[in-house]
Amino acid sequence: MKYLDKLKQILNEPVTVDNLNRINDYFIRYLFSHVGNENIALNFINAVFKDLNFETFKKIEILNPFNIAENYDEKESIVDIKATTETGITVLIEIQSRGNEDFIKRALYYWAYNYSSSLNRGSFYDELKPTVSINITNFILTDEDKIHSCYVLKELNNNKILTDHCQLHFLELPKFNLKNISAIESLDNIHREFISWIKFFKGEDMSVLMKENTIFEEVEKKCRTFVNDSPVMDKYKKREVDTYFFNKSIELDMKKAKEEGIKEGIEKGIEKGIEKGIEKGIEKGIEKNKITIAKNLKKSGLDIKFISDNTGLSIEEIENL
182: pLDDT strictly greater than 60? no
Distance CA 103, CA 96 (A): 9
74: pLDDT strictly greater than 90? no
User: CA nearest 173: which of 196, 148, 191, 190?
Assistant: 148
Q: Kindly give, in sequence order, each residue whose CB lies less than 8 Å from that of residue 235, ignoring residues fewer than 6 positions away.
A: 26, 68, 72
Distance CA 66, CA 169 (A): 23
* Average pLDDT of the segment spanning 125-134: 94
* Average pLDDT of the segment spanning 30-53: 96
Q: What is the pLDDT of residue 91?
A: 97
| Residue bearing the bigger pLDDT, 48 or 293 | 48
In this structure, which amino acid lies at residue 84? T
For the chain, the residue count is: 321
Domain boundaries, the chain: 15-227, 230-319
76: pLDDT strictly greater than 50? no
| Residue bearing the bigger pLDDT, 109 or 261 | 109
In this structure, which amino acid lies at residue 290? K
* Average pLDDT of the segment spanning 239-243: 82
Q: What is the pLDDT of residue 49?
A: 97
271: pLDDT strictly greater than 60? no
139: pLDDT strictly greater than 80? yes
Q: Helices 189-201 and 215-227 meet at what angle, rounded to 10? A: 10
The H or E element containing residue 92 is strand 90-96
Per residue in 255-268, pLDDT (tens digit) is 565 556 555 555 55
Distance CA 166, CA 145 (A): 22
Distance CA 3, CA 12 (A): 14
pTM of the complete model: 0.75
- Mean pLDDT over all residues of the chain? 83
Q: What is the pLDDT of residue 312?
A: 73
* Average pLDDT of the segment spanning 212-229: 96
231: pLDDT strictly greater than 50? yes
Percent of the chain with pLDDT over 70: 74
Q: What is the pLDDT of residue 167?
A: 97
Percent of the chain with pLDDT over 90: 50
Q: What is the pLDDT of residue 4?
A: 64
